């Protein structure tokens, strides 16, 4: 049976986007007349998710007011951070609200189209699989080197040219959920993913499209155009 729960990380401070949306958490930034988060929720509902966990912190009350306890066919629950926990701590805390049978995870400021079941298949027998996006220039993100369907290494930001990047969407299996450190302040990417990469146990899935990152004002402006055109 396919997993039907998704965790959306919506608690970041959004410092890079503060000038464009000073009084809202990043996932509520208005894009083509709707909160960016609405596009994520719609996509996951259409993909078959039936329960969403929103990890909130900074200005989190606005997220609760905008989304409520239900979104379409999905039940909505909240994992509230009283202090910033970083991506790792936020995932570990929110995962306690899941069934524990496997959990999709995505950043609240990135959009990516992919088939959740394909990502789940890539994680079979592993703690995690990550969705990769192909971009024309990896300089801003850092690249991902893949070998035999597994992440071989993450390359630091700076090197340019086309390549694959970590698009911020994951599937954590039961094995992966049970291996998460206890909730505390830590980086999921550095403190969890990196050690798993060294062990050769991070699966990949690159059949994705439509990657958008609103984390900086330039891409925020680009998102306005893309979603506006999609609604026409």
pLDDT at 89 over 70: yes
Instruction: List the chain domain ranges.
Output: 5-230
Whole-number Cα distances in Å, 47 to 43, 96, 174, 223: 6, 23, 20, 21
More confident residue, 89 or 1: 89
Q: Is the pLDDT of residue 1 over 80?
A: no
Query: What is this structure's pTM?
Result: 0.94
Q: Kindly state the helix (H) or strand (E) to which residue 224 belongs, with its residue range.
A: helix 217-230
Spell out where the chain has E strands. 5-10, 30-31, 34-35, 51-56, 70-71, 74-80, 103-107, 110-113, 128-135, 144-147, 150-154, 163-172, 202-205, 209-213
Count the neighbouring beta carbons within 10 Å of the beta carbon of residue 45.
Answer: 16
CATH fold of the domain at 5-230? Spore Coat Polysaccharide Biosynthesis Protein SpsA; Chain A (3.90.550)
Q: Give whole-number Cα distances, 215 to 12, 14, 15, 23, 25, in Å.
A: 10, 7, 9, 15, 11
List, for residues 119-158, the tens digit of each pLDDT value.
999 999 999 999 999 999 998 899 999 999 999 999 988 7
């Amino acid at each position: 049976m396919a997993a039907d729960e998704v965790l959306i990380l919506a608690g970041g401070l959004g410092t890079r986007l503060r000038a464009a949306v000073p009084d809202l958490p990043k996932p509520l930034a208005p894009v083509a007349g709707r909160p960016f988060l609405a596009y994520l929720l719609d996509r996951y509902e259409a993909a078959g998710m039936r329960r969403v966990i929103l990890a909130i912190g900074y200005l989190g009350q606005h997220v609760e007011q905008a989304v409520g306890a239900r979104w379409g066919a999905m039940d909505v629950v909240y994992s509230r951070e009283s202090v910033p926990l970083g991506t790792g701590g936020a995932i570990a805390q929110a995962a306690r609200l899941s069934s524990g049978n496997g959990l999709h995870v995505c950043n609240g400021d990135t959009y990516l189209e992919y088939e959740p079941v394909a990502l789940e298949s890539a994680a079979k027998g592993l703690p995690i699989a990550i969705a990769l996006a192909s971009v024309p220039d990896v300089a801003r993100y850092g690249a991902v080197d893949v070998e035999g369907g597994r992440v071989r290494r993450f390359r630091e930001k700076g090197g340019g040219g086309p390549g694959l990047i970590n698009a911020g969407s994951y599937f954590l299996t039961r094995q992966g959920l049970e291996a998460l450190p206890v909730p505390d302040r830590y980086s999921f990417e550095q403190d969890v993913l990196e050690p798993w990469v060294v062990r050769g146990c991070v699966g990949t899935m690159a059949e994705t499209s439509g990657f958008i990152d609103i984390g900086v004002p330039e891409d925020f402006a680009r998102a306005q155009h893309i979603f506006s055109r999609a609604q026409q």
